[in-house]
Amino acid sequence: MRARDRFSPVVYILVFGILFALSTVARTTEAYSGDLPVDYGNYIQGIRLLYQGRNPYTLEFFAPPWIAFILSPYYLLKHPLFWQTTCTLCVIILLIFSYCWLPEQESDTRPLILGMTLLFVLPTTIFAIALGQLSSLVGLAISLAWAFVAGRKATPWAISFVLILTTLKIHVVFVPFLLLMAELFRQRAWSTILILALTVTLLALASSWFLYENWVTALMSAVFLGQKFLGGEGLAASFYFSYANVGIPAVVFIPHLIYVVARWLKEGLHPYLFLLAITLNFLVIPYSRQYDYVILLPACFYLYSQLWNSRWRYGLWVIFWLFFGVLSLFTKLSFLIPAIILMLLLWLPGDAVKGRDSNFREKSGCHRLRSAFYP
């Protein structure tokens, strides 16, 4: 057994032990009294109520209660700058990760690095960071989980940890999460499944014992019934426009789901299938929010790399950024973004990121990234 494999359970238990200890300290600490970004403020208010043993789901708060354990360091650090810095780092790592998924190309690396920079300043990305959304962390976690499971090189403990992070906002990554779980069963990765199930069970029990006892019914009520949040009931507030508002039910996208599942059964997990899954997820959930589209950065970067290989690259670049930049500024138009990305993904060839595992070749995107700075 490799040393990494021997120490993985120790590190895993130690991390959750530290988070639990920090949350115990945070229970006796006053929350930050200054101004907070809107969504991060909702998280902090919800966590404070959980620490007090009260129902947090009377707020616009829909996270599982173990968020109080995972975000306890930021609750203690108080100032929102620490959390927004973490969100920024998650976005940067997600973009670099997206770059590494691309295979070797003969083109200059600098335009691709420019693409990473432009994606970083898209309104959807800025919204996610400015509001302190969990989406950037969840987006990075689901990307890492996909690479870990597809590559079959990560330990069960590492896979379980990143999958636990996705549960903080599971609805925005529900389709790729289900595919990952199905792949774990197909690989007979029983140790990973057992560790994940046991961890979720322990977190759920700890949430009932130390935070809020009736959190399950309260969370379900908030999601499916709920208060009058932003003009609508439950999580799917009518303030946020979606396909349901224009008479397009989620069942319309069932053929697309079948297509993704069929490709998974035939080809296994690979990056192109991941891009389809994360994009399709936003078409089947009953609402759409601009800041959640930070999860689509890998898909946008792939499309950008394909435009670079087109003879009309400069005109297409302008259209690409104007289109997505302008759409994301309008709440009742931004829901079109995932549909357009999915259409382009299905139209453009998937060979550029296709492969049965996530192993990067010697001259993959990571190699080209190093070459750009160290020629």
Domain presence at residue 90? yes
Question: pLDDT tens digits, residue range 183-223?
Answer: 999 999 999 999 999 999 999 999 999 999 999 998 888 87
Gyration radius of the chain over CA positions: 21
Q: What is the reported pLDDT for 325?
A: 74
Cα separation, 238 vs 231, in Å, equals 6
Domain presence at residue 24? no
Rounded to two decimals, the pTM is: 0.87
Domain presence at residue 44? no
Q: Do residues 295 and 135 touch, judged by C-beta distance below 8 A?
A: yes
Cα separation, 244 vs 299, in Å, equals 24
CA distances from 60 to 69, 222, 224, 230 (A): 19, 9, 13, 9
Q: Give mean pLDDT, residues 239-265.
A: 79
Q: By residue range, what is the domain housing residue 180?
A: 80-209+227-373
Q: What is the reported pLDDT for 314?
A: 66
Lowest-confidence pick of 111-120, 198-207, 219-228: 219-228
Domain presence at residue 30? no
Domain presence at residue 221? no
User: Which range has highest mean pLDDT (89-93, 244-248, 268-272, 365-369)?
Assistant: 89-93
How many domains is the chain built from?
Answer: 1
Domain presence at residue 37? no
Question: pLDDT tens digits, residue range 320-341?
Answer: 777 777 777 776 777 788 888 8
Secondary structure, 3-state, the chain: CCHHHHHHHHHHHHHHHHHHHHHHHHCCCCCCCCCCCHHHHHHHHHHHHHHCCCCHHHCCCCCCCCHHHHCHHHHHHCCHHHHHHHHHHHHHHHHHHHHHHCCCCCCCCHHHHHHHHHHHCCHHHHHHHHHCCCHHHHHHHHHHHHHHHHHCCCCHHHHHHHHHHHHHHHHHHHHHHHHHHHHHHHCCCHHHHHHHHHHHHHHHHHHHHHCCCCHHHHHHHHHHCCCEECCEECCCCCCCCCHHHHCCCHHHHHHHHHHHHHHHHHHCCCHHHHHHHHHHHHHHCCCCCHHHHHHHHHHHHHHHHHHHCCCCHHHHHHHHHHHHHHHCCCCCCCCHHHHHHHHHHHHCCCHHHCCCCCCCCCCCHHHHHHHHHCC
Q: What is the reported pLDDT for 289?
A: 80
Domain presence at residue 1? no
User: Which range has highest mean pLDDT (34-43, 284-293, 352-361)?
Assistant: 34-43
Cα separation, 122 vs 345, in Å, equals 19
Looking at the predicted structure, is the pLDDT value of residue 372 above 60? no
Domain presence at residue 12? no
Q: What is the reported pLDDT for 170?
A: 92
Site of tokens 């600098």: 110
Helix orientation angle between 38-51 and 3-26, rounded to the nearest 10 degrees: 80
